[in-house]
Structure 1
Amino acid sequence: MGAASVWNAMEVAGEARDSCGPAIPSSPLAVDTSLSLPEMSPRVIELCKDLFAAWSKLDDSRFTVETVSGGITNLLLKVSVKEESGNVESVTVRLYGPNTEYVIDREREFHAIKYLSAAGFGAKLLAVFGNGMVQSFINARTLNPEDMRKPKVAAEIAKQLHKFHQVEIPGSKEPQLWNDIFKFFGKASDIKFDDNEKQRKYETISFKEIHDELLELKELTGLLNAPVVFAHNDLLCGNFMLNDEEGKLHLIDFEYGSYNYRGFDIGNHFNEYAGYECDYSLYPSKDEQYHFFRHYLMPDKPQEVSDKDLEALYIETNTYMLASHLFWALWGLIQAKMSPIDFDYMEYFFLRYNEFKKQKQSSISLTKSYLTGC
């Protein structure tokens, strides 16, 4: 019995009902993400038994728990279960990082994920619990930054993103970019660090300057009339999974998903070519971007995309690219205060904000020239 049929067949301890589809198993239990894997495993097994009645009577020895990935936001675990039939079934348990609700709207994520899953994106949502969710297991590897720039992979990502942007999520279609950025700004500009060195670095930041930059960029992007789509908003390499044998690409993790500007989603993706080291010399060239745009705009006939449409999307993308830097720079400051994860979020702020300042003049000049026809 596969994970999807597990969901349909099992009696559950609790149910989270939604008009989108069948009841989703739910549990109030939570798992402490600060524990080591050996300490965490019995709690994860207990959680799975609580969620899925067909597993509730199985001996713990039938369960194995292993880490899939430990990023800078969430922890992913693979739970494999040897059932009475002898079949081994696997699910993914996603544990939210501590304090991530400070920057992530979980209600918005939970609402969208069911519709995206129904449209064939990501892992199937099987259950929810106190600080995470259970999803079907995807047998694939996550991409690395080098993968994303390969022409064949880039074309497939573009095609997938074209389909993703067609999904309709019920509710407000208001683009959330500037709402989210100004929320981040409010939180990031009102922080006090206990660590003296962090506080010293924090005090070098001019929030008036950042606020002025936000207002200027918001006004400029407003002139582009960019299409509003349901956007992923976090298209880094770790959110793509590839089954090399089947050649199938999966787009996963919709935590930051919202209605947003098309150019932001693509520009944000191009920024992620820089990888975790933030090497922005790897930002795609115009030719590489046009290759992506052709497969995004006309997946079935990429060579028939007009020069006019390529130029328009190039301008749109490379203007919103600037907004991506500001978005994640402010996010980094909030995480520097809130996250217990061992990652230099303060340095990340400066990397993103400095790259914004480096790219700002040329990008804005290009956009203004395009808008005025000069």
Structure 2
Amino acid sequence: MVHRAEAHRRRRRVRDVPLTELGIDHWLDQIPCLAGQARRVDDLPGGLTNHNYRVRTATHDVVVRISPASTDLLAVNREHEWLNSRAAAAAGVGAPVVDYLPGQGVLVVGFLPGRTYAAGDVAANLVRIAAALRVLHAGPPFASDFDIFDIQRRYWGIVLQRGLRVPDGYAELAPLAVRVEAVLRRFPEPRVPCHNDLLAANFLDDGGNIRIVDYEYSGTNEASFELGNLVNESQLDRDHLAELVEAYYGRVDDRLLARAELWGLAGRYAWTLWGAIQHGVSDVDHDFWEFAMERYEPAAALFTSARLGRLLEAAGDGGEAA
């Protein structure tokens, strides 16, 4: 087993030689609109699965996203990301797509000015966020599907195959996750183009309409997942969830709230393994174990609470889908 300090030094060495030793200029020279031009390149912080750069030339101001091969383990399909990013841009929610290098994990989108959100900004702008989501969900269809339960099973297979560490007690919760899945699948809601990974940092606000970026996990899904997952990722509470559900649907009831909360629970259960895998394989300088535990601990608490039964009963009501 590699000692933690040595693992950290290895991660730093990889980051000190950007983009598998080729360097950013190698990649920029492959992009037609940027090749052969004087360029200003700024590293953009915050990417957990890729390296992001703002690149400015006399004619372009773009963000270049370059992804390592290891993201294939995380259920990221770069071609689908490209296609879905184009659909989101056409809907008026995402950044314009400028270029894409197939098979190389390089996506180029227009730079959007504006303020990147933190969790407090999400809490203060739920009505505006709901409006942006309704536009995205009513927009052009996405090229892929997204199923958090299938992703969790895929992640679990990777964990077992590679012998990766997971939080204590994780496997014992599997039968409860099966119950949640059965209830949510019993009365499915319409599937729409969803982002599926609405961390606060994926919202941009220039004072007009809120824009949404980073479509790595985008795909057709139930809107209830989008809402529950969004609230969880900013660590908001059930009152915030009720506000978001009402803003999105124009009404709020026990069934809508329960489905959103259960989808959010399923997300936390799966994203725990995302963090565990990243903890084992990523060269990004980030505490992925903390990421995993931030999702696992509230998921385990809800799975083992009496509240779970009440949510399952409310969500299992076969009333008319929203």
TM-score clears 0.5: yes
1:348 to 291, 297, 303: 291
For 1:62-81, what aligned pairs fall within 5 Å after superposition?
62-81=38-57
Q: Could you tell me the TM-score, scaled by structure 1's length?
A: 0.72
State the aligned residue count.
Answer: 300
Structure 1: 5+ residue runs without aligned partners?
Answer: 1-31, 84-88, 194-201, 275-282, 299-304
For 1:151-300, what aligned pairs fall within 5 Å after superposition?
153-169=125-141, 176-192=147-163, 202=165, 205-206=168-169, 208-243=171-206, 246-274=207-235, 283-286=236-239, 288-298=240-250
Tell me how far apart the structure 2 counterparts of residues 368 and 207 of structure 1 sit (CA, whole Å).
20
For 1:1-374, what aligned pairs fall within 5 Å after superposition?
34-35=15-16, 43-52=23-32, 56-58=35-37, 62-82=38-58, 89-97=60-68, 99-103=70-74, 104-129=76-101, 130-150=104-124, 153-169=125-141, 176-192=147-163, 202=165, 205-206=168-169, 208-243=171-206, 246-274=207-235, 283-286=236-239, 288-298=240-250, 305=251, 309-360=252-303, 361-370=305-314, 371=316
Tell me how far apart the structure 1 counterparts of residues 270 and 23 of structure 2 sit (CA, whole Å).
36
Change (3 A) 1:45 1:345: closer
Tell me how far apart the structure 2 counterparts of residues 134 and 65 of structure 1 sit (CA, whole Å).
13
Change (3 A) 1:80 1:182: same
Tell me how far apart the structure 1 counterparts of residues 210 and 166 of structure 2 sit (CA, whole Å).
43
SS at match of 2:234: helix
Percent sequence identity is 22
Measure how far apart 1:232 and its partner are.
0.9
1:329 aligned partner, one-letter code: T
Measure how far apart 1:95 and its partner are.
1.7
- 1:3-59 CA-partner distances (Å, limit 9, x unpaired): xxxxxxxxxxxxxxxxxxxxxxxxxxxxx983468x99x953454444226x5454x
Measure how far apart 1:264 and its partner are.
1.4
Higher relative contact order (CA 8 A, sep 6+): 2
Tell me how far apart the structure 2 counterparts of residues 131 and 334 of structure 1 sit (CA, whole Å).
19
SS at match of 1:70: coil
Measure how far apart 1:235 and its partner are.
0.5
Asked whether the equivalents of residues 90 and 139 of structure 2 are also in contact (C-alpha less than 8 Å), the reply is no
Change (3 A) 1:63 1:259: same
1:68 aligned partner, one-letter code: L
Asked whether the equivalents of residues 128 and 134 of structure 1 are also in contact (C-alpha less than 8 Å), the reply is yes
1:356 aligned partner, one-letter code: A
Structure 2: 5+ residue runs without aligned partners?
Answer: 1-12
Asked whether the equivalents of residues 48 and 286 of structure 2 are also in contact (C-alpha less than 8 Å), the reply is yes
Tell me how far apart the structure 2 counterparts of residues 294 and 351 of structure 1 sit (CA, whole Å).
27
Measure how far apart 1:337 and its partner are.
1.6
